[in-house]
Structure 1
Amino acid sequence: MSGPEAGWSQSDRALAAGKLVLAWVALLWLLEVVDAATGHVLDGFGITPRDSSELVDVAPAAFIHFGFGHLAANTVPLLVLGFLAALAGLRRFLLVCALIILVDGLGVWLMAPAHTNTAGASGVIFGFFGFLLVTGFVERRPLGVLAGILVAAVWGGSILSGLVPTQTGVSWQGHLLGLLAGVAAAFVFRRPAEAPGSARRGP
């Protein structure tokens, strides 16, 4: 790893990852408070499909929720999966997030049913799940493989249920596209496999 994170210890990386993900979730809750206080004006930043004027909402839609219940349902998985994804490095994490948000948002814009409004962080959550599920195998890192297995064991059931296209009011398209984008991010932003016996940098 190059850049300012190269000399960080594991505890440094964990602390930075925790701060970043907590700040992200705090921002989502602040935005929902603003949304509630303004009569849900921020709901307009959701994605209405195949309307060219809605392309500007592709990224903002991932930060908007339709009520506190919607946000509460996303908070714990976003905290846990986001933290695990960020442990590999903040720069990489931000690139992974950007790819997931853009691919998921554009896909929803193209594929969602007409006259719908889609928003929320669930596509990003599914993206983190896909990223964590395969990145250890892609990079041939035993700890990453173990993390993927644990993530699948804990979250796999709820992830699969979120892909069922018959659920009312649930964007299975956004969930599926987020999952695929996360898997793609594991390949696009993969790190070189560590050579056996290679020295680690940092304290």
Structure 2
Amino acid sequence: MLDSTRNGRPRAADTTAARARKGLLVVGSFVLVLYVIEIINTLMLRSLNGTFGLRPRSPDGLLDILTFPLLHANLAHLFSNTLPLIIFGFLVLLSGTRVFFTTLALSWLASGVVVWLIGGFNVTVGASGLVFGLFAFLLVRGFFNRNWWQILLSVVLFLTYGGILFGILPTVAGYVSWQAHLGGAVGGVLAALLLSVPRAGAPRTRQ
């Protein structure tokens, strides 16, 4: 294990402030990419949605799992995902980039797989599955880690944003992909389980 101190002080990269700055940079860069893609898609009359949107149960649609969260139906659709992505993504990134990218990847994959398996007949686009994955991760990780601060944060987030969880139910508006939301949430829970901290007394691997 590498020493993370110098002259008795933690390295800058290990401080909360440094992680916060890095978190804002990473999340901000990802959101900026979404807006650049949205501008290009608009100029191309949304032709990217037909090419790279997720088509359920289509063999070609398996590749669309890699691209569909990057596209949106319109600018308003992207606007609705922007703030939750920034807030939830930033909070996850405070735990480190490995945690963030693992959670993002599992949410992305699970969201796409569920849409491909049980999605409707329409092409699905949008980053809301990632929003649900990051949110679900934040809600449950404290219980897996037995961390009271993380549990307290999950309670605050649930009281503030818990209403979005209705988005995983099939009873929501027909134009909303509850399948993407459900899959993303499953991915977030899986990430929390995978990244959970071993309990006291459990064997630890050396770094």
Task: Give the count of matched residue pairs.
Answer: 192
Q: Which residue of 1 aligns with 2:63?
A: 56
Q: Which has the larger radius of gyration?
A: 2
Asked if 1:163 corresponds to 2:163, the answer is: no
* Contact 1:141–1:194 (CA under 8 A) maintained in structure 2: no
Q: Which residue of 2 aligns with 1:97?
A: 104
Change (3 A) 1:18 1:2: farther
How far did 1:159 drift? 2.3
Asked if 1:86 corresponds to 2:93, the answer is: yes
Query: Where has structure 1 moved over 4 Å in runs of 4 or more?
Result: 1-4
Q: Which residue of 1 aligns with 2:32?
A: 26
Return the alpha-carbon distance in structure 2 between the equivalents of residues 42 and 14 of structure 1: 34
Asked if 1:141 corresponds to 2:140, the answer is: no
**Could you state the TM-score of these two structures normalised by the residue count of structure 2?**
0.87
The one-letter amino acid paired with 1:127 is: G
Q: Which secondary structure state, in structure 2, belongs to the residue aligned with residue 52 of structure 1? A: coil
Asked if 1:124 corresponds to 2:130, the answer is: yes
Q: Which residue of 2 aligns with 1:67?
A: 74
The one-letter amino acid paired with 2:134 is: F
* Contact 1:133–1:148 (CA under 8 A) maintained in structure 2: yes
Gaps in structure 2 of 5+ consecutive residues: 5-9, 202-207
Q: Which secondary structure state, in structure 2, belongs to the residue aligned with residue 39 of structure 1? A: coil
Change (3 A) 1:62 1:2: farther
* Contact 1:49–1:112 (CA under 8 A) maintained in structure 2: yes
The one-letter amino acid paired with 2:110 is: V
**Could you state the TM-score of these two structures normalised by the residue count of structure 1?**
0.89
The one-letter amino acid paired with 1:145 is: I
